[in-house]
Structure formats: C-alpha cells, structure tokens
Amino acid sequence: MRQSFSFLLLFLFLSLISQGQRNVSDSTISTFMFNAAYSFQFPSGDLTDYFGINSTIGGGILYKSNRNWVSGISAGYLFGDKVNNRGELLAQISTSEGEIIDGDGLNTSLALFERGYHLRLVAGKLIPAFGPNPNSGFLLLASAGYLSHHIRIETQFGSAPQLKGDYSKGYDKLRGGFALGTEFGYLIMSNSRVMNFSASVEFVQAWTNSLRDYDFSIKKKDNKHYIDQYIGFKLCWYIPTYQRAPQKFYYH
C-alpha cells in the first residue's frame, strides 16, 4: 500500500513538472502568476456625493490552467485627493466663513483624502488571439469581494481638537459592503517570461452601509443603503512561475 501511494505521488509530481516545462511559445501551459496592478478610476452612483477620481494599487495571484481558465485572489488600496461637499461635511465645526478654529483660537487648515481597500476573489477565461503564443489573448474576469472606503482628514498646521481621537470617526463617512466586478482586457505573455502585461477596463459595484455609530454631519446614525460604483482602466504586470522547457540540441 505504501509503495503504491509513493508511486502515485511520484507520478503526479513528474506530471506537474513535465506540464510546467512545456514551451510557452507553442503550448498552452498552466502556471501561477503573481501580479502588481494599478487602476485609474472614476466614481459613479452614491460615491460621487463625496469622492472624485481616485487610484488603486495592489497585487494578487492568478492561476491559469492549461485550458486557459483563470482564478485567484487580489487586494487593492484605494487613494485619492478629490473630496466633494467639504462644507456640508464639516458644517458642525466650521465658522460662518467656513473656517476651522484650532485649540489656540486660530484658523487651521484641513486636507481631506479618500482612502479604502478592496479584497476580491476572481475567476474568468483567457481567449487566445493575436499574441505571440496561445497563452496570450483577451481576458474576461468576474470578481466578488468586499469594498470599504472613508474620508481621511489631516491637519495641515495648528491643531483641531474637534477631530482628534474618536471624534474624527463621526466625520469620516466610513462605509463597506459586498462588491461585484467585471473586467475585460488583453493579456500578453511573452516567450521570455519577463514582459507579461495586461490592460483592461473594469467596473465595480458595491452595496455598502455606514460602519459608524454616529454621523456628526446628519446628527444621527446613518442607516441608508448605498450603491457605490467605480469605472476604471487597469494595468497589471505578471510574474509567472512555470519552468522553462529544456533547450534541444541536435548533433550531426
């Protein structure tokens, strides 16, 4: 029994190696692909109440089968400096001229930013076309995960005790919820295993709720349900893990 089990493990191991060493230039291979990604995104839906254009950087890992099915996980960090309705957001702690008074009785300056993160599972299909090998082509992905975002408030000079500690949580509009996404683009996997990129258009929609117990701008807990959307352009760089097939030499 032990010998049979050992033989089975050896057979599976050798099969994976032989498959991983197929030539990427003329064979459809299976491989894990680590990636780094950047997205330039435009908000829509309820997101436009407070946010403008933002970016997302992140990374993940995809597995591509020898039938060009792909699946994996990814994580992204959202950031932007376009925050709308500043006056409405800080009305409770602003003077009639819209200024914020610091702890010394002087005007202070605040900077507002968008921050957040996006975690997701992805799955899809690679359709070979136009590339240097059958591992390049149109990439169609769907995703499901969790999206969260909030407003980060920073004091530029002076101090603002109205925004210190837990008080800041009443102004940051922290929301989060379940998110679905789609992505369509083109992936090129080079024969040299170095130049592996994809460019795509992506759409993300999240069903979010406030994660704070109290919102100072509306003077109560925010119980609304929101639909937050991003439309963006995404670039990815991949590092595949397949092994190169050994070169063949012919002697005469």
With respect to residue 116, please indicate whether it lies within any of the assigned structural domains: yes
Q: Are 185 and 201 in contact (CB under 8 A)?
A: yes
Residues 41-69: tens digit of each pLDDT: 999 999 999 999 999 999 999 999 989 99
With respect to residue 195, please indicate whether it lies within any of the assigned structural domains: yes
With respect to residue 5, please indicate whether it lies within any of the assigned structural domains: no
Identify the pLDDT of residue 16. Answer: 45
With respect to residue 2, please indicate whether it lies within any of the assigned structural domains: no
With respect to residue 249, please indicate whether it lies within any of the assigned structural domains: no
Arithmetic mean of pLDDT, 18-36: 75
Arithmetic mean of pLDDT, 133-138: 91
With respect to residue 120, please indicate whether it lies within any of the assigned structural domains: yes
Identify the pLDDT of residue 148. Answer: 97
Dihedral angle over CA of 83, 84, 89, 93, nearest 10: 80
Residue 106 confidence (pLDDT) above 80 = no
Q: Which of 29-43, 138-152, 158-172, 187-201 has the lowest mean pLDDT?
A: 158-172
Residue 216 belongs to domain spanning:
30-240
Q: How many helices (H) and strands (E) does the chain have?
A: 2, 9
- Number of structural domains in the chain: 1
- Residue 104 sits in a domain of what CATH number? 2.40.160.20
Residue 181 confidence (pLDDT) above 80 = yes
With respect to residue 9, please indicate whether it lies within any of the assigned structural domains: no
Arithmetic mean of pLDDT, 207-212: 96
With respect to residue 215, please indicate whether it lies within any of the assigned structural domains: yes
